[in-house]
Structure 1
Amino acid sequence: MISIALPLLGVKMRIVCIFIVGCSMSRILVVDDDVSLCELLEVVLKEEGYQVSSVHCGESALSYMEKTSVDLVLLDVMLPNLSGMQVARRICQRFATPILMLTALNDEQSMLEGYQAGADQYIGKPFNVAELLMRIKAILRRVGLERQRQVIYKTVESITDKLSSLPLTGTEADLLSYLVQHQGIVISKAELQTEVLKKELSPFDRNLDMHVSNIRRKLVEAGLSKQHIKTFRGKGYSYLDTSSRE
């Protein structure tokens, strides 16, 4: 990290640059009528690895977001025409983009109004660059995790729909259900035999293996991997999700 003293940002005509090496491809939109501050934030954030654009009024911000996907908005409260609070409300109505408010109005009432308008975080001017970057990273990390959860949820939902539509016999359905309920856990053949097939396991009984083989075949026919049901030699079977395939 190469840095030049920059304790606080947001004080006009008293701004010096900081260069921090980082990496990210997130797109940040800076909305502030202070052109000098916008230019500096662009330098700082681009050096951190972000894609950055800046506009100087609320109308331009909303117009930009209609055309371009944005991961985070740095929004000043005191803007010409539309106030930052109004812009925040409109962003929340139209988009699912997080907002970090930057403003000299850092009293408790203003902060409360900012959060009520839809701000995810609120930082007062003048602000510390390191704190700003930390907050940006925290917001984007949360957004990234939420997107991952949504992808995982949709994947699981899709798999669940396919599983529920498999043409299974009653015993096969009970067996698959038992394995799914204990996902990621190796279930012994003896347990599956007694809990699902309702009889003790005998040395030459291949009934359980036959049911597992049939389920795997039907999984493949439905476009799923037969490796959802994994054999652990000498131990038993386990149901694995898509991220655990081998």
Structure 2
Amino acid sequence: MNKILLVEDDNGFRELLTEALSREGLSVSVAADGFEALALMEHDTPELILLDLMMPGMDGFSMLMKRKNQLPVIVISALDSEEERIRGYQLGADDFLTKPFSVKELMVRMQALARRINRQAPPVSNETAPEIQFDDTRYMIGVGDRQVMLTQTEFKLFRYLFERKGQVVTKAELQRSVLHKEFGRFDRNLDMHISNTRRKLAQTKLPRSMINTVRGQGYSFTSC
């Protein structure tokens, strides 16, 4: 993770952290709020986002909700409550670091996050995976010579994960983008749809693991 986007409204802290990270050999771009960060990512994709929460304009929580990617995020915030940490994780943050912190600790956390992401990356296979077809009128997917009939919601979930294969999609993002509601801590509606989809895959002799659970983070699509 050598290309960092720092989203922070405090000019002094932003300059100090940018200088410190640059001394570590990292390339750092900066944004003063969520609006500016989202605009920057339209043209240049970082490898990691360092995100403050309390900012004018668009705060960190809103940016997590509105972003269109699943880039790794470490929240850096003066807020240190369980509620804020839980909300950050539910919206897709990968780690939470409370200000003030040392650059050494930040670097260690970044390295640990990079190792986790590398372990979760699907192995490269030389085999050609069967082509997956989508029938939008009947909510049916075709995998090779097999066909799976799904409900409209199951079909949309499967396709959303398929279009982001190789990425881990958080439950919060699936709730917002497919079920069109915010993710609740005790909400099992999404899990039920995923479970039903896996059951139908298995009934058609396809692996349940096409929809892979990434513990503590969400789901990812894996080619059969």
TM-score using structure 1 length: 0.49
Equivalences for residues 126-145 of structure 1 within 5 A: 126-145=100-119
Residue in 2 that maps onto 1:194? none
- Report the Cα distance in structure 2 between the residues aligned to 1:129 and 1:141, rounded to whole angstroms: 18
- Report the Cα distance in structure 2 between the residues aligned to 1:42 and 1:83, rounded to whole angstroms: 20
Amino acid at match of 1:143: I
- Report the Cα distance in structure 2 between the residues aligned to 1:67 and 1:80, rounded to whole angstroms: 23
- Report the Cα distance in structure 2 between the residues aligned to 1:157 and 1:83, rounded to whole angstroms: 44
Q: Secondary structure at the match of 1:140?
A: helix
Residue in 2 that maps onto 1:156? 126
Amino acid at match of 1:157: E
| Per-residue CA distance 1:113-149 (angstroms, 9 max, x = gap) | 1111111000111112221111111112333444xx4
> Would you say the 8 A contact 1:71–1:140 is kept in 2?
no
Summarize the Cα distance change of 1:103–1:26 in structure 2 as closer, same or farther, 3 Å threshold. Answer: same
Q: Does 1:71 align with 2:41?
A: no
TM-score using structure 2 length: 0.54
- Report the Cα distance in structure 2 between the residues aligned to 1:157 and 1:80, rounded to whole angstroms: 50
> Would you say the 8 A contact 1:31–1:58 is kept in 2?
yes
Q: Secondary structure at the match of 1:67?
A: coil
Equivalences for residues 177-216 of structure 1 within 5 A: none
Q: Secondary structure at the match of 2:42?
A: helix
| Per-residue CA distance 1:28-49 (angstroms, 9 max, x = gap) | 0000001111111111111111
Amino acid at match of 1:44: A
> Would you say the 8 A contact 2:21–2:103 is kept in 1?
no
Q: Give the aligned length.
A: 131
Q: Does 1:61 align with 2:31?
A: no
Which consecutive residues of structure 1, in runs of 5 or more, have no partner in the other structure?
Answer: 1-24, 162-246
Equivalences for residues 90-169 of structure 1 within 5 A: 90-91=66-67, 94-146=68-120, 149-150=121-122, 152-153=123-124, 155-158=125-128
Equivalences for residues 167-178 of structure 1 within 5 A: none
1:86 offset after TM fit, Å?
A: 0.8
- Report the Cα distance in structure 2 between the residues aligned to 1:46 and 1:141, rounded to whole angstroms: 21
Runs of 4+ in 1 over 2 A off after TM superposition: 140-146, 155-158
| Greater strand fraction, Structure 1 or Structure 2 | 2
> Would you say the 8 A contact 2:7–2:37 is kept in 1?
yes
1:85 offset after TM fit, Å?
A: 0.5
Amino acid at match of 2:95: Q
> Would you say the 8 A contact 1:86–1:117 is kept in 2?
no
- Percent identical pairs in the alignment equals 36
Residue in 1 that maps onto 2:191? none
1:100 offset after TM fit, Å?
A: 0.3
| Greater helix fraction, Structure 1 or Structure 2 | 1
Larger deviation, residues 126-135 vs 26-35: 126-135
Q: Does 1:80 align with 2:56?
A: yes
> Would you say the 8 A contact 1:75–1:99 is kept in 2?
yes
> Would you say the 8 A contact 1:72–1:140 is kept in 2?
no
> Would you say the 8 A contact 1:99–1:119 is kept in 2?
yes
- Report the Cα distance in structure 2 between the residues aligned to 1:131 and 1:156, rounded to whole angstroms: 39
Q: Secondary structure at the match of 1:157?
A: coil
1:69 offset after TM fit, Å?
A: 1.4
- Report the Cα distance in structure 2 between the residues aligned to 1:90 and 1:55, rounded to whole angstroms: 16
